[in-house]
């Protein structure tokens, strides 16, 4: 199996996907691409949340034109999502796109595919082949009867073959399905056969709640096996939520180095403080902390000190107050009303210390 570290490294703008243990976070804009102002505003919000590569739909001439202006106003690599129309791909490439998501087998005549590949080669732009269980080629549906993991991998190999025949190797591959077991099997089989980096996604996963659970189940299984060099969580929600979920997922597998982790207890009858609001507020605060510290928020001192030892900073609730722990040592007691603000101050101190070292 090609572990993500063993895949072919592919440059996307100033980033490299594959060839290392790093997993890059992506999302996709929900705006009309031709609306430059709205698209740039959304990209800035995504970038702030930790998105490293962003995709926009390029479904018409205006969208392809807008790329030029969008590129001037953002600093993360931009990907054009194109279906069938090679002229839009050429226009996007001409306008400075960093990567194209297009399936060469769906472009049409050979000359059209060659034109796109030539343009990508000239500018050093990679192509993502996006296999989707819901839109497999007719010859594969005829062969397999319905979408299967084998059919998805065969589809990927079919498109890869077209590019390799043209001596093009800057390839990234996704095999998305909304059915989690099917996606896991497709990606696992692909990792056996495909040396190019895999872009992971559970497509049309659902709303913030159900989509997060499905994505965590599917992507988590794959990431834990060493599969996947980039992820896009797909949610029927603000795309900023996709980035937040992706970051949380990568944290779970120690695949991200610029994110803080919150440890918080489920509470029980021993609870003496309003822990849920404290945990939520601290979690929100940690979204903007870009160093790998651990913060614990625990309801009481029974497990508190033990758990707090695992964290860089933490609190354990007591009656009307909280015990503040730093690297496992209790440093002071704080009244409940000041718990969050005191914890935030301590977090800031630790972040500053971390940044100094």
CB of 301 to ligand SF4, least distance (A): 8
Phi, psi (deg, nearest 5) at residue 24? -90, 140
Interface with ligand SF4, residue 268, by CB under 6 A: yes
Interface with ligand SF4, residue 305, by CB under 6 A: no
Interface with ligand SF4, residue 302, by CB under 6 A: yes
Nearer to ligand SF4, 252 or 303 (CB): 303
CB of 281 to ligand SF4, least distance (A): 17
3-state secondary structure of 283: helix
Sign of CA dihedral 155, 158, 162, 168: positive
C-alpha distances (whole Å) from 243 to each of 11, 172, 222 are: 21, 20, 18
51 is in an annotated binding site: no
Interface with ligand SF4, residue 303, by CB under 6 A: yes
Nearer to ligand SF4, 205 or 275 (CB): 275
DSSP state of 20: S
> Tokens 């996007």 map to which residue?
92
**For residue 287, is it left (φ>0), alpha (ψ between -120 and 50) or beta?**
alpha
Task: Give residue 282's Cα distance to chain centre.
Answer: 22
Sign of CA dihedral 305, 308, 309, 313: negative
Give the pairing type, strands 294-298 and 261-264. parallel
> Tokens 């860089």 map to which residue?
312
300 is in an annotated binding site: yes
Token couple for 110? 């050979």
Nearer to ligand SF4, 191 or 311 (CB): 311
Q: Rounded CA gap, 113 and 108, in Å? A: 7
Interface with ligand SF4, residue 267, by CB under 6 A: yes
Interface with ligand SF4, residue 270, by CB under 6 A: yes
Interface with ligand SF4, residue 322, by CB under 6 A: no
Number of residues forming the site for ligand SF4 (CB under 6 A): 12
> Tokens 């994110």 map to which residue?
259
Please give the residues from 210 up to 239 whose contact with ligand SF4 meets the rule CB under 6 A. Answer: none
CB of 300 to ligand SF4, least distance (A): 3
Nearer to ligand SF4, 173 or 340 (CB): 340
268 is in an annotated binding site: yes
Q: Rounded CA gap, 246 and 275, in Å? A: 25
Interface with ligand SF4, residue 298, by CB under 6 A: yes
Interface with ligand SF4, residue 300, by CB under 6 A: yes
Interface with ligand SF4, residue 266, by CB under 6 A: yes
Interface with ligand SF4, residue 320, by CB under 6 A: no
Residues that bind ligand SF4 (CB under 6 A): 265-268, 270-271, 298-300, 302-304
User: Which residues define the annotated binding site?
Assistant: 265, 268, 300, 307
């Amino acid at each position: 199996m090609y572990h993500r570290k063993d895949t072919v490294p592919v440059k996307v703008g100033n980033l490299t996907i594959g060839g290392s243990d790093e997993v890059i976070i992506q999302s996709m804009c929900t705006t009309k691409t031709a609306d430059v102002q709205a698209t740039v505003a959304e990209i800035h919000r995504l970038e702030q949340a930790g998105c490293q590569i962003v995709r926009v739909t390029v479904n018409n001439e205006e969208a392809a034109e807008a790329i030029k202006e969008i590129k001037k106003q953002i600093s993360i690599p931009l990907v054009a999502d194109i279906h069938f129309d090679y002229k839009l791909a050429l226009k996007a490439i001409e306008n400075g796109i960093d990567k194209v998501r297009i399936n060469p087998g769906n472009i049409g005549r050979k000359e059209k595919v060659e034109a796109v590949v030539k343009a990508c080669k000239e500018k050093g732009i990679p192509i993502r082949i996006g296999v989707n269980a819901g839109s497999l080629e007719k010859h594969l549906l005829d062969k397999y009867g319905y979408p299967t993991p084998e059919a998805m991998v065969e589809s990927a190999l079919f498109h890869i073959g077209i590019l390799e025949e043209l001596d093009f190797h800057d390839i990234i591959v996704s095999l998305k399905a909304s059915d989690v077991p099917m996606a896991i099997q497709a990606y696992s089989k692909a990792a056996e056969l495909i040396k190019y980096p895999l872009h992971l996604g559970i497509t049309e996963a659902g709303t913030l709640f159900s989509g997060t659970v499905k994505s965590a189940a599917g992507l988590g299984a794959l990431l834990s096996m060493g599969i996947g060099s980039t992820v896009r969580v797909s949610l029927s929600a603000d795309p900023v939520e996709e980035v937040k979920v992706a970051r949380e997922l990568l944290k779970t597998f120690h695949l991200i180095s610029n994110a803080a982790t919150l440890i918080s207890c489920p509470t029980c009858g021993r609870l003496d403080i309003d822990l849920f609001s404290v945990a939520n507020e601290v979690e929100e605060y940690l979204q903007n902390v870009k160093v790998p510290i651990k913060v614990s928020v625990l309801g009481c001192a029974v497990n508190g000190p033990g758990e707090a030892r695992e964290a860089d900073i933490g609190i354990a609730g007591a009656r009307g107050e909280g015990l503040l722990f730093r690297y496992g040592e209790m440093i002071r007691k704080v009244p409940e009303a000041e718990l969050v603000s005191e914890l935030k101050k301590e977090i800031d101190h630790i972040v500053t210390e971390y940044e100094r070292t």
